[in-house]
Chains A and B, each alone.
Chain A
Amino acid sequence: MGQVVSLVVAGVLALAVLAGCQGIDASQRGVYRVGYVDDPLLAPLFLADEGSRSWELVRSGSSSDVGYALIAGEVNAGFVETSRARKLLDSQGGERLMVAGTMQFPYGATLVVREGLDMRLGDLGSARIAVQAQCALVRHFEVDALRFGLDLASLNYKNMPFPDMLPALEAGLVDAILVKSAHAALAEQQGHSILYQNWDVEEGQDECCPPAVFQTEYLLLVDSRDTSSASRLAEALLNASEAPVEELRSAIASATGTPVGLLENHPVAVFTPLTDAQRELFGEDRCLTIR
């Protein structure tokens, strides 16, 4: 009797798991769903969404969550941060996805100093600076630092990945962080100040910025089963990218709550079709042609 009860319990549990795993596929919903995160770097998406549109935006907490929504069929398209998107395209479940375009932002090296620290480039010898090892940013920063008479041997680097840097700065574990310029607005919003910025960083063979996806902050990944809707979305994003910068900034401000004043000192990201180098990197059959 006890065994029968156990088997029934097991069956019910298995069915519950099965039922829980089966959602409604986005392609059957009738609405084209686009996954995104609240990031000022998605300005063209926010502007395009203000006009007449044929899609529904689905907000996620992180760009990897957008990736899971894509492979689960919860959304038809989504913006996924570049390094994660590349992994997703190669992972099981990512076979169905195509790249429809990229969100580009000038690369730039930015040195952000912790709130309340009064520092000049010459004072950095005593500071703890978070950097991503083997990154083009470090090399460009060192060239400039030498020009300003700084002793490179005195620099106290702490190696960590980009996403860990801002929390480390907030926690006082480091005094400064050397980040891509895309992080600058966020750092300023949190009260930190920018000590150094160089927008002329050239592409390298570094782990953090391989040439083909240099300056690419996000990839627009789309479900290959509905390329016509994906093309319409991409067209709308391309049109939005051609709008005046003020309009894009205002769209960011209303979508993310970032004050317009803070955005005025920074460039705005734009959506671009894939370049030849990117098509080669991802494979021609994984790329959507839009223009």
Chain B
Amino acid sequence: MLDDSMIRRNSLTRRRGHFLGVFLKEIKAFTKFALGNIFSREFMTVLIPLLIVWEAVPRLGLVPEALVPAPSVVAVAFWDVFTNLNMAEHIGASMLRFGAGLLLAAAVALPLGVLMGWNSFIRSHTLPLFQLLAPVPPPAWVPITIILLGIGLPMQVFLIFLGAFYPILFNTYQGIKETDPRYLASARVFGASEFTLLTKVYIWNALGSVVMGLKIGIATGLVMMVISEMYGGRSGIGFLLLEAKEFFQIDRMVVCMMLLGFIGWFLIEVMKYVESKLALWRIGR
């Protein structure tokens, strides 16, 4: 006979197995979704000729090989960087900074954007300030940030935060503000409270804009990550990029640039996948 603890354990194991199954299924679906975009026939017809031209141009001496390394040279440098420079640690360090900065930006900008779009009192008191500050290019904040936060992780996280904050804030605000009044009126007819309107109408209506803000925030955050890693620290992809630049290792520089491009592409694909899961009605647009 099975006792209660055995039944509970079996049920827990079954539930864990179920979650793992769902997780693996989602990973498989995401991989198909993301790779499907990049390995499409349409993109290949652009990518392959570009790679051939890129390989041929320096090899034929049309541009100096020293300044434009061919893809085959970059591939060798890629292997060299990964085997000799402890690349996994550098990527880990960069992702830690980037993740912290992006999460902080999303945690502040999303609720603020919702409140600004929803309430005209909050909007009129805060929007002018952000509109004044947003045009200041994030790299211009570097000296003040160093003075206030020193050189180190807090300064780097803050700079990434600054890069990602405004696109997320303004896209969220715009998405909320442009909620179709007919949806709001319908919900009100059914007695929806303001809180219900926020959680069931405004936010879902703004989902596309929010995801777009996050995508732009990822791109600008990555720019700021590279800038922030040029100061103080001796780890991260930005540091490797700067070091390669300072010591004329152009092939390594291209490796770092491609790696940053890959990380940006991957994160944006994640956002697109999340959007496709949450906003089924947008699929196919």
Contacts and interface: CB of A to CB of B under 8 A. Distances in A.
B267 interface: no
Given A10-B45, A10-B46, A168-B232, A72 B64 contact: yes
B115 to A, nearest CB: 35
Nearest to B58: A21
Interface in B237-280: 245-250
Contacts of A52: none
Contacts of A84: 246-248
B249 A6 contact: no
Given A71-B66, A93-B248, 15 more contacts: A2-B42, A3-B42, A3-B45, A6-B42, A7-B46, A10-B46, A13-B50, A14-B53, A14-B57, A17-B53, A67-B248, A88-B248, A164-B232, A167-B232, A171-B150
Nearest to A87: B247
Interface residues of B, number: 29
A91 B151 contact: no
Interface in B123-175: 146-147, 150-152
A121 interface: no
A64 interface: yes
Interface in B32-89: 41-42, 45-46, 49-50, 53-54, 57, 62-68
Contacts of A260: none
Contacts of A13: 46, 50
Contacts of B248: 64, 67-68, 71, 84, 87-88, 91, 93-94
B204 interface: no
B14 to A, nearest CB: 48
6 closest cross-chain pairs (CB), A and B: A93-B66, A14-B53, A21-B63, A6-B45, A92-B66, A10-B49
20 contacts: A3-B41, A7-B46, A9-B46, A10-B46, A10-B53, A11-B49, A13-B50, A14-B57, A18-B63, A22-B63, A62-B246, A64-B245, A64-B248, A87-B247, A87-B248, A92-B66, A93-B64, A164-B232, A167-B232, A171-B146
B50 A172 contact: no
Interface residues of A, number: 33
Interface of B: 41-42, 45-46, 49-50, 53-54, 57, 62-68, 146-147, 150-152, 231-232, 245-250
In terms of DSSP, what is the predominant structure of the interface of chain A? helix
B150 A173 contact: yes
Nearest to A71: B66
A171 B46 contact: no
A7 B53 CA distance: 12
A71 B50 contact: no
B244 to A, nearest CB: 10
Nearest to B149: A171
A71 B54 CA distance: 20
B1 to A, nearest CB: 67
A91 B232 contact: no
Contact of A6 (B46, B54, B64): B46
Contacts of B65: 92-93
Nearest to A86: B247
B246 A64 contact: yes
Contacts of B147: 170-171
A170 B146 contact: yes
Contacts of B232: 164, 167-168, 171, 173
A71 B150 contact: no
Contacts of B246: 62, 64, 84
B50 A14 contact: yes
